[in-house]
A and B are shown apart, each in its own frame.
Chain A
């Protein structure tokens, strides 16, 4: 039996190397998220210009000492607009999945734990929500409700419920047959105690990974709405609307579209990298990357 215990030295030769390679990318992604997050939080106190002040004499200017990243088609400071745009992207991007994960986790765990009719009902309800192509659903609901940051957040949040429900249900299903749950039940623990104390901690980790992937998706959807001019109303700067406005001057000032595009791409990529790394770590299947 002793043979089985001495594993540390040679174990996992190749996976370790892989994790190191992933490490650099992972850290870069975290660094970008922190940077953009801090900038968004501190936008008010940073020594940057107003994102909405027009300067019709300095339109589409290249970077200069006064405007580090130049100005847009109305002479507004690009850097400042990018930072304030991060505020919107991150606010919507973080809050919407919070809605999705809270409701989805509850529904999924209840469905996976109690099974039966409740499960059929929840799965059916989720399927109906999935019957709408997400962007079409978001467009339609915000069109009726009105295009505000709150409404957009709510809609994208609701759209996220199915994914989170599925993950939570799948994990709960596989866990509720395991020894520790069976043991807890045999010892007379109540259902709510088992759900909260035994299952929730185990469901939480995969959900966190999915949450981060959800942030990436939300940033894209919000960006798409704003890009179409159907998202956050002007003059509030949003990366999506900046890209949409910059598209008009691709021939003379392509950076007006490319700068916010780059910010959005890096942010989405970073959340995807961090989320996917966590997902791979919590996925029991080997090599599930």
Chain B
């Protein structure tokens, strides 16, 4: 295990070690995240990519310590030398905002409907930076302007329902950035938005990330989104990381059949908006009934008897800094999903 750190020079800001999340459900224990290791250096970006339901949100919530009350967390989440999983609530609270921040998937639900935009920005500034109301209001207006919201002074007095989805997500980003965090976790920040504003929001995030030299985890189900915007990509399937590589390396030479399938599923720019995604055939396994072998085996073209029997570990046999979990990795340059035969 090489424990790849993106931007291997500096010590990691965040390192996730053996993190697993279990949720109790009526159908039994659901292992939403299964032994995940990750590391991220200050100022770098990591993309986490995977289909819906593969555990991306649960992983991000495990990092942020925002898991549902009944969820069980295993492993360590080291952030700035401290394990967040065992940190006392008050210290954790002080980290949130100035160190750790998040942008959620759905801006329709992540802003409080009965509080003004202004209140929701100002309270963060006051909680951590000890600003008085006037200064905080001024700073809040500046923040809104910085994320590209027109007439910010007026917006401060409005309620979330008076703003469009894209505007709300900009507000959420302004709130997340308000205390200059060292790490921003963006969980599918554009999935709930109109196609036309998706790129704007992603560019905004990338711009602010660079400007503030902030580390960022960008979660998405779309490999196309991480392509130009991240330093490293981790591909997730059924709760596990199945391939991880520096972004250019991944797109130059992906090893995992699942990654390949994901790539084939990227919506083309010229496809009409709101057409169904060309999904990967088949469905992910039932997370309450783990398979003995590779979780992708039932859907994989290359699967054989070994794949159904034993689970491949996440390993990096060529020491290329790009570990993958597959018995029969794809060799050579990018192969087309449809052209390959079992």
Q: How far is the CA of A13 from the CA of B27 in the complex (A)?
A: 8
Q: How far is the CA of A12 from the CA of B27 in the complex (A)?
A: 7
Please provide the chain B residues from 1 to 59 with a CB less than 8 Å away from any CB of chain A in the complex: 24, 26-28
Q: Are B24 and A4 in contact (CB under 8 A)?
A: no
Q: Are A4 and B26 in contact (CB under 8 A)?
A: no
Q: How far is the CA of A4 from the CA of B288 in the complex (A)?
A: 10
Using known A-B contacts A3-B286, A3-B289, A4-B286, determine if residue A11 contacts B27 with beta carbons closer than 8 Å.
yes
Q: Is A14 an interface residue (CB 8 A)?
A: yes
- Tell me the minimal C-beta distance from A287 to chain B in angstroms: 11
Q: Are B286 and A12 in contact (CB under 8 A)?
A: no
Which residues does chain A contribute within 8 Å of B285, judged by CB atoms?
3
- Tell me the minimal C-beta distance from B9 to chain A in angstroms: 46
- Of the candidates A7, A14, A15, which one forms a contact with B27 in the assembled complex, judged by CB atoms under 8 Å apart? A7
Q: Are A11 and B26 in contact (CB under 8 A)?
A: yes
Q: Is A10 an interface residue (CB 8 A)?
A: yes
- Of the candidates A3, A7, A13, which one forms a contact with B24 in the assembled complex, judged by CB atoms under 8 Å apart? A13
Which residues does chain B contribute within 8 Å of A15, judged by CB atoms?
26
Using known A-B contacts A3-B286, A3-B289, determine if residue A10 contacts B28 with beta carbons closer than 8 Å.
yes
Which residues does chain A contribute within 8 Å of B289, judged by CB atoms?
3
Per DSSP, are chain B's interface residues mostly helix, strand or loop, or mixed? loop
Which residue from chain B places its CB closest to the CB of A2 in the assembled complex? B289
Which residues does chain B contribute within 8 Å of A14, judged by CB atoms?
24
Q: How far is the CA of A13 from the CA of B26 in the complex (A)?
A: 7
Which residue from chain B places its CB closest to the CB of A9 in the assembled complex? B28
Q: How far is the CA of A13 from the CA of B285 in the complex (A)?
A: 22
Count residues of B near A (Cβ-Cβ below 8 Å). 7
Please provide the chain A residues from 134 to 152 with a CB less than 8 Å away from any CB of chain B in the complex: none
Which residues does chain B contribute within 8 Å of A12, judged by CB atoms?
26
Per DSSP, are chain A's interface residues mostly helix, strand or loop, or mixed? helix
Per-position contact with A for B47-78: 1 when CB-CB < 8 Å, else 0? 00000000000000000000000000000000
Count residues of A near B (Cβ-Cβ below 8 Å). 9
Q: How far is the CA of A44 from the CA of B27 in the complex (A)?
A: 54
Per-position contact with B for A1-30: 1 when CB-CB < 8 Å, else 0? 001100100111111000000000000000
Q: How far is the CA of A112 from the CA of B154 in the complex (A)?
A: 45
- Tell me the minimal C-beta distance from A227 to chain B in angstroms: 43
- Tell me the minimal C-beta distance from A190 to chain B in angstroms: 40
Q: How far is the CA of A169 from the CA of B31 in the complex (A)?
A: 42
Which residues does chain A contribute within 8 Å of B27, judged by CB atoms?
7, 10-11
Which residues does chain B contribute within 8 Å of A4, judged by CB atoms?
286
Which residues does chain A contribute within 8 Å of B28, judged by CB atoms?
10-11, 13
Which residues does chain B contribute within 8 Å of A13, judged by CB atoms?
24, 26, 28
- Tell me the minimal C-beta distance from A26 to chain B in angstroms: 22
- Tell me the minimal C-beta distance from B239 to chain A in angstroms: 16
Of B26, B285, B286, B289, most A-chain CB atoms within 10 Å: B26
- Tell me the minimal C-beta distance from B254 to chain A in angstroms: 29
- Tell me the minimal C-beta distance from A114 to chain B in angstroms: 35
Q: How far is the CA of A4 from the CA of B28 in the complex (A)?
A: 12
Which residue from chain B places its CB closest to the CB of A4 in the assembled complex? B286
Which residues does chain B contribute within 8 Å of A7, judged by CB atoms?
27
Which residue from chain A places its CB closest to the CB of B70 in the assembled complex? A14
Which residues does chain B contribute within 8 Å of A11, judged by CB atoms?
26-28
Q: How far is the CA of A15 from the CA of B286 in the complex (A)?
A: 22
Q: How far is the CA of A13 from the CA of B24 in the complex (A)?
A: 9
Q: How far is the CA of A163 from the CA of B147 in the complex (A)?
A: 52
- Tell me the minimal C-beta distance from B14 to chain A in angstroms: 34
Please provide the chain B residues from 256 to 292 with a CB less than 8 Å away from any CB of chain A in the complex: 285-286, 289
Q: How far is the CA of A12 from the CA of B285 in the complex (A)?
A: 21
Please provide the chain A residues from 13 to 67 with a CB less than 8 Å away from any CB of chain B in the complex: 13-15
Q: How far is the CA of A12 from the CA of B24 in the complex (A)?
A: 10
Q: How far is the CA of A3 from the CA of B287 in the complex (A)?
A: 11
- Tell me the minimal C-beta distance from B285 to chain A in angstroms: 8
Which residues does chain B contribute within 8 Å of A10, judged by CB atoms?
27-28
Q: How far is the CA of A14 from the CA of B285 in the complex (A)?
A: 24
Q: How far is the CA of A62 from the CA of B289 in the complex (A)?
A: 67
Which residues does chain B contribute within 8 Å of A3, judged by CB atoms?
285-286, 289
- Tell me the minimal C-beta distance from B46 to chain A in angstroms: 33
- Tell me the minimal C-beta distance from B223 to chain A in angstroms: 28
Q: How far is the CA of A13 from the CA of B29 in the complex (A)?
A: 10
- Tell me the minimal C-beta distance from B31 to chain A in angstroms: 14
Per-position contact with B for A209-242: 1 when CB-CB < 8 Å, else 0? 0000000000000000000000000000000000
- Tell me the minimal C-beta distance from A109 to chain B in angstroms: 32
Q: How far is the CA of A14 from the CA of B286 in the complex (A)?
A: 21
Please provide the chain B residues from 87 to 145 with a CB less than 8 Å away from any CB of chain A in the complex: none
Q: How far is the CA of A261 from the CA of B94 in the complex (A)?
A: 55
Q: How far is the CA of A15 from the CA of B27 in the complex (A)?
A: 12
Q: How far is the CA of A13 from the CA of B23 in the complex (A)?
A: 13
- Tell me the minimal C-beta distance from A261 to chain B in angstroms: 41
Q: How far is the CA of A4 from the CA of B27 in the complex (A)?
A: 9
Which residues does chain A contribute within 8 Å of B286, judged by CB atoms?
3-4
Q: How far is the CA of A14 from the CA of B23 in the complex (A)?
A: 13
- Tell me the minimal C-beta distance from A283 to chain B in angstroms: 16
Residue contacts A-B, CB under 8 angstroms, 16 given: A3-B285, A3-B286, A3-B289, A4-B286, A7-B27, A10-B27, A10-B28, A11-B26, A11-B27, A11-B28, A12-B26, A13-B24, A13-B26, A13-B28, A14-B24, A15-B26
Interface residues of A (CB under 8 A from B): 3-4, 7, 10-15
List 14 additional contacts besides A3-B289, A11-B27; criterion CB under 8 Å: A3-B285, A3-B286, A4-B286, A7-B27, A10-B27, A10-B28, A11-B26, A11-B28, A12-B26, A13-B24, A13-B26, A13-B28, A14-B24, A15-B26
Smallest CB-CB A-B distances: 9 pairs: A10-B28, A3-B286, A3-B289, A12-B26, A11-B26, A11-B27, A7-B27, A10-B27, A4-B286
